[in-house]
A and B are shown apart, each in its own frame.
Chain A
Amino acid sequence: MALQETPVILPGHDFETVTETIAEVPLSKRFPLGWIGILLISLGLAGMLQMALGYLLIKGIGIWGNNVPVGWAFDIINFVWWIGIGHAGTLISAILLLFRQQWRTSINRFAEAMTLFAVACAAMFPLLHTGRPWLAVYWLFPYPNTMGLWPQFRSPLIWDVFAVSTYGTVSALFWFTGLVPDMATLRDRAKSPFAQRIYGMLALGWRGSAKHWQRYETAYLLLAGISTPLVLSVHSVVSFDFAVSVLPGWHATIFPPYFVAGAIYSGFAMVMTLAIPLRKFYHLEGFITMRHIHNMTKVMLVTGMIVAYGYANEAFFAWYSANPYESFMMYNRMAGPYAVFYWSLIGINAVMIQLFWFRSVRDNIPLLFVLSLLVNVGMWLERFIIIVTSLHRDFLPSSWDMYAPTRWDFGMFAGTIGLFLALFFLFIRFLPAIAIFEMRTIVPEAKLKAEHHG
């Protein structure tokens, strides 16, 4: 039995209404009070980030809770968390494009923006973790220097530098390429000369010529094809940071696929967290329909189950390998001092997501909003468990120690959330949050009538 599914765009829309509804947001002169309020709170948090960074650069990373067995803590947890969130954007814009999933059209633009901002937040952490980021240039990037030093290319940490910087660059190029025809639309519709000038510059003189469209479409498809293996490689390389070491709890071959699935899972949760208020406050229910919400929950269900399979696999390996260090690591996760976090993450990522099987849950927007926030919490806890419980009790009991974050750890983490939200809210106010020209291609009007073939 085929269930009747909501269309990707509600009926009654044509070129003009699609353009008008989306372009109205960046072009209007009004600044809604709610928008200003959230922006101010986010900017306040971003200010806190600046303070935390300033103090960090003066005092050094001793202000964090990191200690000797737990050399990686909040910094790497937050790095992996943010970069994982970014993955949904590229998945939506590139992989779903190649699979001709039309529903991606109305969510790809802001998901890509989310990717860019998340990668920016992520990249900050490992750089600051070096302690002296102004020296990190020659540790991380291969450039000829007077000391004749070169980075160690056999290290996954260097692979990570290349993976993340390539990912950031390619995502930005992809995002900007998608924006250009919409910038032309805004240029042509803007009333104020200032807006005309700014959007005009960003539009690069785009005029919608058939010759240009032909190359544009080719380039867009090629970029999607290039980004697809890239996005899968990025989180695989991130997982190598762990998997290539010999630490129990990190040294596992399942890490790359398990990390990629976790990244997509958390990324879709963040897209959902952002999409639900966005469609409500900007009245975009006609474009981000229930179909999108349903599909996103289904993607989260599938990837969440892959992640849960990863947890089961880790426990199985610990038992089946009969390796005392592996078994102890698993026992320590389940019954050690951080067990409450372990069981919360199992509760969220393995048990709670089973709710997504039910259509009544998938239809309940406020509940989905709460669940998507919880998934983000769950995925953060997953990284906490992987990093902290593996490090704090390793091979030698004499080197064991407990880890507790300091207020600077929390301050910096909350600060990046503020920075992310501030950038996102500026983005939805000044740029089209939905790809206008791509939306035009899915309204019925865009279909050619048959007779011209004659």
Chain B
Amino acid sequence: MAEFENATALVQAATKARLAGYRQMDAYSPIPIEELNEALDLKRTRLPLLVLLGGIFGGLGGFGLEYWASTIAYPMNIGDRPLNSWPQFIPVTFETTVLGAALTCFIGMWALNRLPQPYHPVFNVDAFGRASTDRFFLVIETADPRFERHATWAFLEGLHPVGVSEVAP
């Protein structure tokens, strides 16, 4: 794990590491950095698709519930007006669509991020406490095929970080 002072240094380091062939990496920062997605070659998230599906499910569910309750389960004939008075069902359908999409978005984001997670090795490094304030970190994982203890250490040192440390599992 290498520690950097600012976002620019982290993005440069991540780009260099990827060019050097490292793939199993992660970067940690106190702010979202859009450029890191490119530097680390992150795939686009599936979240928007999930949210769309959640919204469609919520909308169909809401309308289905109204249709079923008003025409099948509890039909009320008021002056022979149609039982499936769909224009009147739109507001609730809209609200359930929003609810379905929002719940999918919230649960989906945390689930894809594998959070909440009570333990993670990066917290074993003392300096990492500043990752949520003003320090930026690049981690090359041992699972990386090109990982080799001394070479990787030397490589990280070569990126001019503030410090390099080893993450205890």
Contact = CB atoms under 8 A, between A and B. Distances in A.
Interface string A183-225: 0110111000000000000001111111111111111001100
Interface residues of B, number: 69
B115 A15 contact: no
Interface string A87-99: 0000000000000
B53 interface: no
A430 interface: no
Given A210-B27, A215-B113, A452-B35, A169 B134 contact: no
Contacts of B88: 153-154
Dominant secondary structure of chain B at its interface with chain A? helix
A295 interface: no
A252 B103 CA distance: 35
B73 A209 contact: no
B69 A142 contact: yes
B36 interface: yes
Interface stretch (A297-305, A419-427, A439-447): A439-447
A19 B92 contact: no
A212 B108 CA distance: 12
Interface stretch (A143-151, A337-345, A403-411): A143-151
Contact of B31 (A154, A223, A237, A441): A441
Nearest to A187: B132
A207 B29 CA distance: 8
A322 interface: no
B32 interface: yes
B109 interface: yes
B158 interface: no
A50 interface: no
A440 B30 CA distance: 8
B47 A219 contact: yes
A153 B66 contact: yes
A158 B99 contact: no
A112 to B, nearest CB: 14
A177 interface: yes
B102 A437 contact: no
A226 interface: yes
Nearest to B67: A153
A245 B139 CA distance: 63
Contacts of B155: none
A227 B97 CA distance: 11
Contacts of A445: 6
Contact of B98 (A149, A166, A212): A166
A208 B102 contact: no
10 contacts: A15-B133, A16-B134, A19-B133, A184-B132, A207-B28, A207-B128, A208-B29, A219-B108, A230-B95, A452-B15
Interface of B: 6-8, 11-12, 14-15, 26-37, 40, 42, 45, 47-48, 51, 55, 62, 65-66, 69-70, 73-74, 76, 85, 88-89, 91-92, 94-96, 98-99, 101-103, 105-106, 108-110, 112-113, 115-120, 122-123, 128-134
Which 7 pairs from chain A and chain B are nearest by CB? A204-B116, A15-B134, A219-B109, A150-B69, A205-B117, A159-B91, A213-B32
